[in-house]
């Protein structure tokens, strides 16, 4: 049995969204746990085996999988289906690349944007590093998304996949950071329409109530 450790309104939300889209909610035991929240609520939950007390965390027959992109890859490999690309299947390389791009580039950049930081802030610390060559910023991410979406509705083609679900999630959470281009705005809208947002929000609301979180 697979077990997902989850808390509402966290990065684990998109993993529940993936399970819903794959019709695999009944195949995974979802355990709702407390986590430390920005307003000071919550904290470490002894029921959560994550070494840092974070979510999401997936456990399968004693195997522990951390980080959203790794969990998404594990689940789509394990269950198969159109949300991922199997080993040997056309598009597997692109699929892996998007998952890595999110973790290596997009999420760190989003955190910097959320904190109102930018590349010159790095320059003050790493003054001997070629910042332009080493780091990518909002313009580079926008251009990458625009190139991918120039001739297709979703990042991997005509179908909504797990890479869309992952890559769009920060823009759904923090809309001001959405790259300002019509192709990207249309993609964000299509992703919202492809996912069952109402069912996910209902699941989140129930979980918040169970945890006593306002």
Q: How do residues 6-57 score in pLDDT, each as one tens digit? A: 999 999 999 999 999 999 999 999 999 999 887 767 788 999 999 999 999 9
Nearest Cα neighbor of 195 from 156, 164, 150, 170 is: 164
Q: What fold is seen in the domain 92-194? A: Glutathione S-transferase Yfyf (Class Pi); Chain A, domain 2 (1.20.1050)
Mean pLDDT of 114-136: 54
Class of domain 2-81+197-211: alpha beta
- CA 76 to CA 73: how far, in whole Å? 5
- Listed by start position, the domains of the chain span 2-81+197-211, 92-194
Predicted confidence at residue 131, as pLDDT, reads 45
Distances from the Cα of 79 to the Cαs of 54, 116, 125, in angstroms? 24, 39, 44
* DSSP states of 153-175: SBTTBSS--HHHHHHHHHHHH-G
- In tens, the pLDDT along 153-206 reads 999 999 999 999 999 999 998 899 999 999 999 999 999 999 899 999 999 999
């Amino acid at each position: 049995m697979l077990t997902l450790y989850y808390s509402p309104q966290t990065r684990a939300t998109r993993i529940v969204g993936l399970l819903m889209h794959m019709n695999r909610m009944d195949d995974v035991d979802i355990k709702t746990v407390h986590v430390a929240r920005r307003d000071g609520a919550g904290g470490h939950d002894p029921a959560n085996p994550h070494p840092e007390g974070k979510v999401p965390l997936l456990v399968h027959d004693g195997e522990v999988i951390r980080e959203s992109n790794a969990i998404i890859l594990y689940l789509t490999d394990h269950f198969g289906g159109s949300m991922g690309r199997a080993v040997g299947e056309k598009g597997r390389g692109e699929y892996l690349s998007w998952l890595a791009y999110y973790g290596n580039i997009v999420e760190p950049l989003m955190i910097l944007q959320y904190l109102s930081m930018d590349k010159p802030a790095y320059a003050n610390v790493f003054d001997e590093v070629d910042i332009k060559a080493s780091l990518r910023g909002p313009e580079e991410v926008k251009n990458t998304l625009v190139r991918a979406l120039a001739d297709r509705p979703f990042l991997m083609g005509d179908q909504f996949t797990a890479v869309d679900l992952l890559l769009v999630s920060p823009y759904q959470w923090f809309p001001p950071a959405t790259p300002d281009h019509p192709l990207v705005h249309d993609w964000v809208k299509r992703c919202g329409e492809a996912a069952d947002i109402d069912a996910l929000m209902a699941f989140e609301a129930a979980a918040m109530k169970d945890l006593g979180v306002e």
